[in-house]
Amino acid sequence: MSMWSCEVSHAAVAPTPLEMSGDNFVDSDPYAQGKATRTSRFTDAEGHTVLALGHPGERLALELTLDEDKRVVRETLVAPDHLIRRCFTYPEDAGD
């Protein structure tokens, strides 16, 4: 999995390869508990499934955009004094 900033800027940002499994990545992020006080699921204009997760007690909100294989391809995290946008790409499966 590779990750990079989705922010539009004047300078190109090279992807940062992550040497971890998807399960380990999820375990390291705020949605690792598999619970959120507020949740919503909708389809965006491109036809992707989007999960919106709210943790009001932690003043944290996440929006996860999934691809057709149900993998996170975009993440937006909003918290006090923070706005983080990340995009993800995945290597092709070796067995396919």
Higher pLDDT: 24 or 83? It is: 83
Helices and strands per DSSP (H, E), number in the chain: 1, 7
Q: Under a CB-based contact definition with an 8 Å cutoff, are residues 65 and 48 in contact?
A: yes
Q: What angle do CA 31, 24, 50 make, to 5 degrees?
A: 40
The pTM for the full model equals 0.72
pLDDT at 18 over 60: yes
From residue 80, alpha-carbon distances to 2, 8, 17, 71 in Å are: 26, 22, 27, 27
Q: How confident is the model over 33-82, as pLDDT tens digits?
A: 667 788 899 999 989 999 999 988 889 999 999 998 898 889 999 999 99
